Chains A and B, each alone.
Chain A
Amino acid sequence: MTSVQTPAQDGAPTGPSVLKPATEAQAHEVLRWAVAEEQPVELVGGGTKRAIGRPVQAAHRLDFSGLRGISLYEPEELVLSAAAGTPLAEIEATLAARRQQLAFEPADPGPLFGRPAGTQTLGGVVSANLSGPRRIKAGAARDHVLGCRAVSGHGELFKAGGRVVKNVTGYDLPKLFTGAWGTLVALTEVTLKVLPAPEHERTLLLLGLDDAAAIQALSSALCSPHEVAGAAHLPAAMAAGIPGAAEQGAAVTAIRLEGFAPSVAYRAGLLEKALGGKAATAALEGGASAAFWRAVRDVAPFVARPERAVWRISVAPRRGPAVLGELAARLGAEGYYDWGGGLIWLGTDPAGDAGAAAVRAAVGGEGHATLLRAPEAVRTAVPVFHPQAPALAALSARVKQTYDPRDILNPGRMTAGI
């Protein structure tokens, strides 16, 4: 284990100490000590998501990047286990060599936060439940997490779940810990379901549709049996920053099809026939299609607009255009849609509450809005995660209390109490 100290002047209070365990046993040892001494710790992997959530006030930073390595990969069993600090890039490359993938298509949030691409870790991806455009077909990160090893706020190392897909033995804790932003347990190892990578992909583009017509077209596509694996709509200004869309000079509505080449060609033909009457069409094949969806996934339009605060809004798909329309009118916000209209990436003016009051009012109780990127002062003052109804908020607080009774793990990351 290595341990470093943030430089401090003589006599000045010291900054957070950084502890970098090299083994699970060392991580356990550090956390046992932290619990015993009531020393809050910030859990960090690649650090790409440190600017998400409420700022964590902790005297110690526990750096998991030393805890790395794939411990199990059996392609014919569709399963992979790796230490929490394993770079996602390493996992994706390992899978790609066997023509497999993480079907939930995790985004790379690095560039959105002004950091390099390709540095996030498995633990970070799982703790944030990051899922990309294929989420509508393949499920979220949580749907692919089969098991884990972790240290809770009791300072105890334990395992949950397993390595097989079909498993109802006890509570599904690994899914609960997915998306908990490191506030319940510190993950040390994660076991994932992996899937074959599609042999081929093609994206059908419909050009020049307004938002309402676009979401309706995406809905028709998603209601068809053609196994749509991506459904996004970018108004013209947003499309301008996306490879494959920028060239069109218009709003772009995109439908991705994946699979065996003859199947993709067949389905694309049927969809074009069904939807092509409504707008001009174009197509992106193979690598061009992949580049387009990577940009949608990684929120490229707002990587190019660093001055904007960024919201991630999840609503019922058909509500998408009304919510974005209202916020565009009220806040001068701009944004685009993924997940057939159900996911809105929204850019607002970061001044004041970054539009929080208006955003939360527009979303209401049916859906949620996360203030993903904003200056630290705004994230301190404004609830970053969508406020919950009182009974649910109280239940969530009890879940936090049961796993981390001394508030050691990423204290305050999600709400003032969580």
Chain B
Amino acid sequence: MEMPKPDAAVLARRVELIGALRRIVPGEGVIVDADELRAYESDGVMAYRQMPLVVVLPSTTEQVSEVLRFCHEAGVKVVPRGAGTSLSGGALPLADGVLLGMSKFNRILEIDWEDRCVRVQPGVTNLGITTAVAHRGFYYAPDPSSQIACTIGGNVAENSGGVHCLKYGLTTNNVLGVEMVLMNGEVVRLGGKHLDSEGYDLLAAVTGSEGLLGVVTEVTVRILPKPETARALLLGFPTVEGGGQCVAEIIAAGIIPGGMEMMDRPAIHAAEDFVHAGYPLDVDGLLIVELDGPEAEVDHLIAEVERIARGCGATYARVSSSEEERLTFWAGRKSAFPAVGQIGPDYLCMDGTIPRKELPRVLRAMTEMSQRHGLRVANVFHAGDGNLHPLILYDANRPGEIEKAEAFGADILKLCVDVGGVLTGEHGVGVEKRDLMPYQFQPEDLTHQQRLKCAFDPDGLLNPGKVFPQLHRCAEMGRLHVHRGQIPFPDIPRF
């Protein structure tokens, strides 16, 4: 994995740049000391590390605007960062770049109960929004597993998901508006408390753009009334295929569960050892199905899902009889990553999405790859929407093993693309999957994505080296490649 070569001229101007940044963000808001900078050298992907040129922690939109305008004019790169929980290296610093930390934007600005939305600064945590509105029976729906730490600004950048996406959508479906600063320092507002866009839906383009288009300084999200009740089923199958069949039949019956998660045998055992959730150990596939809504509906659907599961060969079925039991069902799934961390010194977490019906084929191929690469793999799976999280176990202390794990991971992601899926469902491309982009997209597909960047940041100063394996100059992509003088449509009459 290579990052853009640092600009020696910028490195040479470090002292001067720091002085200018200090004039914009006074006091402790500019960090230059190596010991303090180290806290920012990586995000959730610890394998990638890089010390930034300098860290700037602005506290107002005006400061963000001035910092960006200054960097734009000085030709200095900027990497935005929220809580730094990215699982794809989206906030990995650049040696010649300013790391723009948004942690001081941590206030909830307005809770509008009547219009069912909340206006917050981007450094507020995902869970912080739900916590602020829970006392009146509301919550914010997307719930990535890092929700205690990850910020809403980072969620917008990554279009974060969670276990409830199938029914309630991703970040993009729950954000109503943002205030955003462009690389040239201009401030734009997209959306608001009203629905839909008056012109181009730039909010949709910005959500999930991994910090390449602008720096979000305010976010308006919709909040939902908490469902009256939620109950979960734990369903065990002798084969993962049986579980996959059950998922398909639940959806075919017109049921959209609040959550539907699957684990394979290695993941079940790791989770059970770790939290003792009471999972059955004699099954190859374990499905957690959560139904939420009005009590009358949940009771009706629990029975319906159990009937479908039996028909698909479930050998184990347990319905949560209390809130405590429901949370126990989830405890194992939610701690699957650390649980797997217990059985192998290190693990790589992959994030492909596949059409659900391809699950048996993908799992069989993964077993074969596991043998070929000589590394173990455990699978947790957002079964409802086909998002796989294979956890590849390796030992970083053994020479060459990280490379083996990365090669195994790349094979899995390519397989996801081969069966009609995608490289990343919710963790983002970042630097981690950047070089695989040409496997999913043709050159003209990628060019059309990069052309969007030209409208927002034509000089490519914002978070370069992420998402796209090759940086093209906007002038080059803007040039039309046309051949004039051909006789068009020889097969149709001319007038």
Report yes or no: A155 in contact with B200, Cβ–Cβ below 8 A.
no
Nearest CB of chain B from residue A113's CB, rounded to whole Å: 20
- List which A333-382 residues lie within 8 A (CB) of chain B: 339, 342-343, 365-368, 370
Report yes or no: B480 in contact with A154, Cβ–Cβ below 8 A.
yes
A97 lies within 8 A of chain B by Cβ: no
What chain A residues lie within 8 Å of B207 (beta carbons)? 172
Report yes or no: B353 in contact with A156, Cβ–Cβ below 8 A.
no
What chain A residues lie within 8 Å of B486 (beta carbons)? 33, 36
Report yes or no: B294 in contact with A267, Cβ–Cβ below 8 A.
yes
Report yes or no: A29 in contact with B478, Cβ–Cβ below 8 A.
no
- List which A277-334 residues lie within 8 A (CB) of chain B: 314-318
Report yes or no: B196 in contact with A179, Cβ–Cβ below 8 A.
yes
18 more contacts with CB within 8 A, not counting A77-B355, A402-B451, are: A19-B492, A33-B486, A36-B483, A129-B196, A167-B424, A169-B424, A169-B429, A172-B172, A179-B200, A223-B113, A227-B294, A365-B189, A385-B199, A391-B188, A399-B202, A399-B452, A399-B455, A403-B451
Least CB separation from B388: chain A residue: A166
Closest 4 pairs (CB-CB, A-B) = A368-B198, A263-B297, A175-B204, A196-B254
A176 lies within 8 A of chain B by Cβ: yes
Report yes or no: B197 in contact with A179, Cβ–Cβ below 8 A.
yes
Report yes or no: B301 in contact with A260, Cβ–Cβ below 8 A.
yes
- List which B409-465 residues lie within 8 A (CB) of chain A: 420-429, 433, 437, 440-442, 444-449, 451-452, 454-456
What chain A residues lie within 8 Å of B356 (beta carbons)? 76-77
Least CB separation from A137: chain B residue: B224
> Assuming the A-B contacts A32-B482, A35-B480, A263-B300, are A367 and B194 also in contact, with contact meaning beta carbons closer than 8 angstroms in the complex?
yes
In the complex, A143 Cα to B363 Cα: how many Å?
30
What chain B residues lie within 8 Å of A367 (beta carbons)? 192, 194
B278 lies within 8 A of chain A by Cβ: no
Nearest CB of chain A from residue B82's CB, rounded to whole Å: 15
Nearest CB of chain B from residue A103's CB, rounded to whole Å: 10
In the complex, A315 Cα to B385 Cα: how many Å?
32
What chain B residues lie within 8 Å of A74 (beta carbons)? 355, 357
What chain A residues lie within 8 Å of B386 (beta carbons)? 77, 164-166
B169 lies within 8 A of chain A by Cβ: yes
Looking at the complex, which of A1-9, A44-52, A83-91, A244-252 is the stretch in contact with chain B? A1-9
> Assuming the A-B contacts A139-B173, A226-B294, are A164 and B355 also in contact, with contact meaning beta carbons closer than 8 angstroms in the complex?
yes
> Assuming the A-B contacts A77-B357, A342-B195, are A178 and B204 also in contact, with contact meaning beta carbons closer than 8 angstroms in the complex?
yes
Report yes or no: B300 in contact with A395, Cβ–Cβ below 8 A.
no
Report yes or no: A316 in contact with B385, Cβ–Cβ below 8 A.
no
The proximity string for B residues 293-320 relative to A, scoring 1 for CB distances below 8 Å and 0 otherwise, is 1111100110000000000000000000
The proximity string for A residues 157-193 relative to B, scoring 1 for CB distances below 8 Å and 0 otherwise, is 1111011111111111101101110001000000000
The proximity string for B residues 350-382 relative to A, scoring 1 for CB distances below 8 Å and 0 otherwise, is 000111110000000000000000000000001
In the complex, A252 Cα to B202 Cα: how many Å?
36
Nearest CB of chain A from residue B444's CB, rounded to whole Å: 5
What chain B residues lie within 8 Å of A139 (beta carbons)? 169, 173
The proximity string for B residues 264-291 relative to A, scoring 1 for CB distances below 8 Å and 0 otherwise, is 0000000000000000000000000000
What chain B residues lie within 8 Å of A158 (beta carbons)? 442, 444-445, 447-448
Contact of B200 among A33, A171, A176 (CB under 8 A): A176
- List which A18-75 residues lie within 8 A (CB) of chain B: 19, 26, 29-30, 32-33, 35-37, 74-75
Contact of B484 among A36, A199, A219, A314 (CB under 8 A): A36
The proximity string for B residues 156-198 relative to A, scoring 1 for CB distances below 8 Å and 0 otherwise, is 0011010001100110110000000010001111101111111
B79 lies within 8 A of chain A by Cβ: no
Contact of A317 among B115, B197, B481 (CB under 8 A): B115
Report yes or no: A166 in contact with B353, Cβ–Cβ below 8 A.
yes
B248 lies within 8 A of chain A by Cβ: yes
In the complex, A167 Cα to B423 Cα: how many Å?
8
Report yes or no: A168 in contact with B425, Cβ–Cβ below 8 A.
yes
B209 lies within 8 A of chain A by Cβ: yes
A17 lies within 8 A of chain B by Cβ: yes
- List A residues at the B interface (Cβ < 8 Å): 1-3, 5, 14, 17, 19, 26, 29-30, 32-33, 35-37, 74-79, 99, 129, 131, 135-136, 139-140, 142-143, 152, 154-160, 162-173, 175-176, 178-180, 184, 195-197, 199, 219, 222-227, 259-260, 262-263, 265-267, 314-318, 339, 342-343, 365-368, 370, 385-386, 388-389, 391-396, 398-403, 405-406, 414-415, 418
Contact of A168 among B195, B202, B208 (CB under 8 A): B208
Report yes or no: B255 in contact with A196, Cβ–Cβ below 8 A.
yes
Contact of B482 among A35, A162, A178, A222 (CB under 8 A): A35
Contact of B426 among A29, A129, A166 (CB under 8 A): A166
> Assuming the A-B contacts A5-B495, A99-B254, A176-B202, are A225 and B228 also in contact, with contact meaning beta carbons closer than 8 angstroms in the complex?
yes
What chain A residues lie within 8 Å of B357 (beta carbons)? 74, 76-77
Report yes or no: B115 in contact with A3, Cβ–Cβ below 8 A.
no
> Assuming the A-B contacts A35-B482, A196-B251, are A396 and B199 also in contact, with contact meaning beta carbons closer than 8 angstroms in the complex?
yes
Nearest CB of chain A from residue B340's CB, rounded to whole Å: 21
Contact of A33 among B385, B426, B489 (CB under 8 A): B489
B85 lies within 8 A of chain A by Cβ: no
What chain A residues lie within 8 Å of B473 (beta carbons)? none
Residue contacts A-B, CB under 8 angstroms, 24 given: A129-B197, A135-B195, A140-B196, A158-B444, A159-B441, A162-B353, A165-B353, A166-B387, A167-B425, A169-B423, A169-B424, A169-B437, A173-B448, A173-B449, A179-B197, A263-B297, A266-B294, A316-B192, A316-B193, A339-B195, A343-B195, A367-B194, A398-B454, A405-B478
B201 lies within 8 A of chain A by Cβ: yes
Report yes or no: A178 in contact with B201, Cβ–Cβ below 8 A.
yes
Main secondary structure of the interface of A (DSSP, over half): mixed
Report yes or no: A262 in contact with B192, Cβ–Cβ below 8 A.
no
Query: Which interface residue of B137, B437, B486, B489 has the most chain A CB atoms within 10 A?
Result: B489
In the complex, A386 Cα to B120 Cα: how many Å?
26
Nearest CB of chain B from residue A233's CB, rounded to whole Å: 15
B488 lies within 8 A of chain A by Cβ: yes
Nearest CB of chain A from residue B191's CB, rounded to whole Å: 10
What chain B residues lie within 8 Å of A316 (beta carbons)? 112, 115, 192-194
> Assuming the A-B contacts A3-B489, A158-B442, are A395 and B202 also in contact, with contact meaning beta carbons closer than 8 angstroms in the complex?
yes
Contact of B449 among A171, A343, A418 (CB under 8 A): A171
B9 lies within 8 A of chain A by Cβ: no
B226 lies within 8 A of chain A by Cβ: yes
In the complex, A364 Cα to B135 Cα: how many Å?
33
Report yes or no: B442 in contact with A164, Cβ–Cβ below 8 A.
no
What chain B residues lie within 8 Å of A155 (beta carbons)? 480, 482
Nearest CB of chain A from residue B104's CB, rounded to whole Å: 24
Contact of A164 among B425, B445, B491 (CB under 8 A): B425
Least CB separation from B137: chain A residue: A225
The proximity string for B residues 45-60 relative to A, scoring 1 for CB distances below 8 Å and 0 otherwise, is 0000000000000000
Least CB separation from B136: chain A residue: A223
In the complex, A359 Cα to B198 Cα: how many Å?
14
In the complex, A122 Cα to B209 Cα: how many Å?
27
Report yes or no: A318 in contact with B205, Cβ–Cβ below 8 A.
no
Nearest CB of chain A from residue B366's CB, rounded to whole Å: 18
Report yes or no: A402 in contact with B209, Cβ–Cβ below 8 A.
no
> Assuming the A-B contacts A14-B495, A158-B445, are A389 and B189 also in contact, with contact meaning beta carbons closer than 8 angstroms in the complex?
yes
In the complex, A253 Cα to B193 Cα: how many Å?
22
In the complex, A412 Cα to B80 Cα: how many Å?
36
